């Protein structure tokens, strides 16, 4: 079937670069479109090939010659780059140079995530609300700044650090010690520059805009749960669960966020001649002074993506395609229904610190249309047995007419899953349970 009457190309084969729950959720949403013949996950994980129309390709994307040859051989019509690492190293440029249609920004746009100091200057130039900040490269400079501030500052390594480069110290002494540590090489090149930031307060939400370089369309909002422990305590993780859409902001507040954050971001990108074709992920804090950007990411959130994908109708892949081609209208409808979605992540004991892998996983195979189990860190051994292979192992996602219903299903599903050392938070969605649903349409 021809999806793109604009230039008579057909969209049949899609490749997704990445190996997490996010990429499996994208593949699952993409394959729903009848025109899609095949979705290749490069390299994917232990659950990827059991998704309808999906196949894994065991290939290292950093070997770009082999990747390019494979994509040509498979007649790939669209490449979706899932993770910030290939985006930050410029895989988008390499693929576009060879005329592939790509969803995901080039290296210049990915800098919104790969350099926090660059992103902060970007926001300052565009007058986008964010916490005050100082960029430092020496211990002397940082000492002056830390001492001249009344409160301890938040400390961030400039570059990509797998979510581990942000610290929220309680005292100025701690602030100074962490800054010194980072500047002395704790995160290698990623810590050559440090961003010191004023600490701000408020609930955090994730806003996603699919962007074709000019126009954008919002996905449903979400709220992540970054801390490992119940009551939002303990170490930061990649995300222990999420729900969508979040009733923490009203429709009017979301429109205001578009006006003061989303649109100025796209305008500033254009001003800098950055043709951003991909998803803009705004990590926001809703403070007493209004919404402020905590961080930008240049890819979908994980586990927000797993949570949002089941809410999309089968036209979702066409939006990615339009972004890649620069033909988004900005008024496309994407919601399948207005259900609530909730996701709980099953992790390996010890995550986000040390954990063991290689344990057999038992999943009760009952299928339901409002329930998905996306694999995050899993692998298949030579006998085809499913084993744990990461800190975050499975993403259990359910939908319902209320968050209570969605999470009841999610917890009853996850209770039936077992592997040695399985751990999950029991309070995901605590912010929205036992309250009436209000959805930003």
What is the nearest approach in angstroms of ligand GLY to the Cβ of residue 302? Answer: 4
23 contact, one of ligand AMP, ligand GLY, none, CB 5-8 Å limit per kind:
none
| Contact by Cβ (8 Å): 227, 235 | yes
What is the nearest approach in angstroms of ligand GLY to the Cβ of residue 183? Answer: 24
Token pair of 325 as six digits:
């081609």
What is the nearest approach in angstroms of ligand GLY to the Cβ of residue 222? Answer: 9
Q: Applying CB under 6 A, does 197 fall inside the site for ligand AMP?
A: yes
The secondary structure of 218-260 as a DSSP string is EPPPBEE--EEETTTEEEE-S-SEEEES-TTS-HHHHHHHIII
Query: Is residue 300 exposed (0-12), middle (13-18) or buried (19+ Cβ within 10 Å)?
Result: buried
Q: Which of 98, 199, 270, 362 binds ligand AMP (CB under 6 A)?
A: 199
Q: Is 270 helix (H, G, I), strand (E, B) or coil?
A: helix
Q: Applying CB under 6 A, does 302 fall inside the site for ligand AMP?
A: no
Q: Applying CB under 6 A, does 166 fall inside the site for ligand AMP?
A: yes
- Taking the least distance from each CB to ligand GLY, the nearer of 33 and 376 is 376
The secondary structure of 348-363 as a DSSP string is ETTTTS------B-B-
Q: Applying CB under 6 A, does 426 fall inside the site for ligand AMP?
A: no
* Binding residues with ligand AMP: total (CB under 6 A): 14
Q: Which of 57, 89, 168, 387 binds ligand AMP (CB under 6 A)?
A: 168
199 contact, one of ligand GLY, ligand AMP, none, CB 5-8 Å limit per kind:
ligand AMP
- Taking the least distance from each CB to ligand GLY, the nearer of 3 and 279 is 279
239 contact, one of ligand AMP, ligand GLY, none, CB 5-8 Å limit per kind:
ligand GLY
- Taking the least distance from each CB to ligand AMP, the nearer of 16 and 154 is 154
Q: Applying CB under 6 A, does 158 fall inside the site for ligand AMP?
A: no
Token pair of 1 as six digits:
């079937």
Q: Is 205 helix (H, G, I), strand (E, B) or coil?
A: strand
Measured in whole angstroms, the distance separating CA 299 from the mean position of its chain's CA atoms is 5
Angle between helix 21-31 and 316-325 (nearest 10)? 100
Q: Is 155 helix (H, G, I), strand (E, B) or coil?
A: strand
| Positions that interact with ligand AMP (CB under 6 A) | 131, 154, 163, 166, 168, 197, 199-200, 204, 226, 236, 283, 294-295
């Amino acid at each position: 079937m021809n999806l793109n009457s604009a230039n008579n190309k057909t969209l049949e084969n899609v490749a997704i670069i990445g190996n997490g729950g996010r990429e499996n959720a994208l593949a699952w949403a993409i394959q729903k479109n009848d025109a899609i013949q095949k979705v290749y996950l490069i390299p994917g994980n232990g659950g990827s090939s059991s998704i309808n129309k999906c196949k894994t390709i065991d290939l290292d994307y950093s070997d770009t010659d082999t990747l390019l040859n494979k994509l040509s051989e498979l007649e790939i019509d669209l490449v979706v780059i899932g993770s910030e690492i290939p985006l930050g190293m410029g895989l988008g440029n390499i693929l576009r140079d060879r005329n592939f249609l790509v969803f995901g920004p080039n290296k210049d746009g990915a800098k919104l995530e790969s350099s926090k100091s660059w992103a902060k200057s970007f926001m300052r130039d565009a007058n986008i609300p964010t916490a005050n900040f100082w960029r430092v490269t020496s211990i002397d400079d940082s000492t002056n700044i830390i001492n001249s501030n009344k409160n301890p500052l938040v400390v961030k390594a400039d570059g990509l650090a797998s979510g581990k480069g942000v610290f929220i110290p309680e005292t100025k002494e701690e602030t100074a010690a962490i800054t010194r540590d980072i500047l002395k090489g704790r995160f290698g090149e990623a810590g050559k520059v440090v961003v010191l930031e004023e600490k701000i307060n408020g609930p955090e939400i994730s806003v996603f805009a699919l962007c074709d370089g000019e126009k954008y369309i919002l996905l449903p909002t979400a709220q992540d749960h970054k801390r490992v422990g119940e009551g939002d305590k303990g170490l930061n993780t990649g995300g222990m669960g999420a729900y969508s859409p979040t009733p923490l902001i009203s429709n009017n507040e979301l429109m205001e966020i578009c006006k003061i954050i989303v649109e100025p971001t796209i305008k500033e990108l254009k001003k800098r001649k950055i043709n951003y074709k991909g998803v803009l992920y705004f990590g926001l804090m809703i403070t007493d002074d209004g919404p402020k950007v905590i961080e930008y990411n240049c890819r979908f959130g994980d586990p927000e993506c797993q949570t949002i994908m089941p809410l999309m109708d089968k036209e979702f892949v066409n939006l990615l395609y339009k972004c890649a081609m620069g033909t988004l209208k900005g008024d496309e409808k994407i919601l399948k229904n207005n259900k609530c979605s909730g996701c709980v992540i099953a992790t390996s004991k010890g995550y986000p610190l040390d954990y063991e892998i290689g344990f057999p996983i038992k999943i009760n195979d009952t299928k339901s249309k409002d329930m998905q189990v996306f694999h995050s860190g899993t692998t298949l051994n030579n006998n085809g047995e499913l084993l744990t292979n990461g800190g975050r192992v499975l993403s259990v996602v359910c939908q319902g007419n209320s968050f209570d219903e969605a999470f009841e299903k999610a917890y009853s599903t996850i209770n039936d899953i077992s592997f040695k050392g399985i751990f999950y938070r029991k309070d995901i969605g605590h912010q929205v349970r036992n309250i009436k649903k209000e959805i930003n349409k």
